[in-house]
Structure 1
Amino acid sequence: MPPAVSGKYKQLLVVLVLNFSLSPFFDGMFGELLSSALLLYTLIVIVRTFSMRQQLLQLYLGIAISAFGLQTGLRLGWFSAEVLFLAVLIQVVYGIYLGVAVYLILRDILLCQQVTVDTIRGSICVYLLIGFIWAFLYGIVASLDAQAFSTSILNATSSYGEIIYFSFVTLTTLGYGDILPVSPIARMLANLEAIVGQLYPSILIAILVSNYTAEKLK
Structure 2
Amino acid sequence: MPVPRHLVFLALTRRHPSAILLVVQLAGLLLYPLLESTRAGPLALSAFGIAVLVVTTRMVRRTPGLTWLSVGLALPAIVLLLLQALLDLRGLLPWSAALEALFYFYAAGSLVAYMMGDMRATTDELFAAGATFTLLAWGFAHGFVVLQAVQPGSFAAAVDPGQPRSWTELMFLSFALLSSTGIGDVIPLRPLARGLASLEMFVGVMYLAAVVSRLVGLTLQRR
TM-score (norm 2): 0.78
Contact 2:129 2:212 in 1 (8 A): no
Aligned counterpart, 1:15 = 24
Q: Give the total of aligned pairs.
A: 201
The secondary structure found in structure 2 opposite 1:111 is coil
Aligned counterpart, 1:198 = 205
Cα distance per residue 1:49-78 (max 9 Å; x no partner): 2438xxx75774465343233223234555
Shifted more, 161-170 versus 69-78: the winner is: 69-78
1:139 to 145, 166, 190: 145
Contact 1:153 1:163 in 2 (8 A): no
Identity across matched positions, percent: 24
Aligned counterpart, 2:46 = 36
1:64 to 67, 74, 91: 74
- Computed over aligned residues only, the root mean square deviation of the Cα atoms, in angstroms, reads 2.5
The secondary structure found in structure 2 opposite 1:28 is coil
TM-score (norm 1): 0.80
Q: In the TM superposition, what is the alpha-carbon distance from 1:177 to its structure 2 partner? A: 3.8
Task: Measure, in 2, the Cα distance between the counterparts of 1:142 and 1:21.
Answer: 23
Aligned counterpart, 2:55 = 45
What are structure 1's unaligned runs of at least 5 residues? none
- Give the 3 Å change call, closer, same or farther, for CA 153–165 of structure 1 in structure 2: farther
Query: Does structure 1 residue 171 correspond to structure 2 residue 181?
Result: no
Q: In the TM superposition, what is the alpha-carbon distance from 1:114 to its structure 2 partner? A: 2.2
Large movers: runs of 4+ above 3 Å: 56-63, 75-80, 151-154, 209-216
RCO higher in structure (CA 8 A, sep ≥6): 1
2:34 to 8, 12, 25: 25
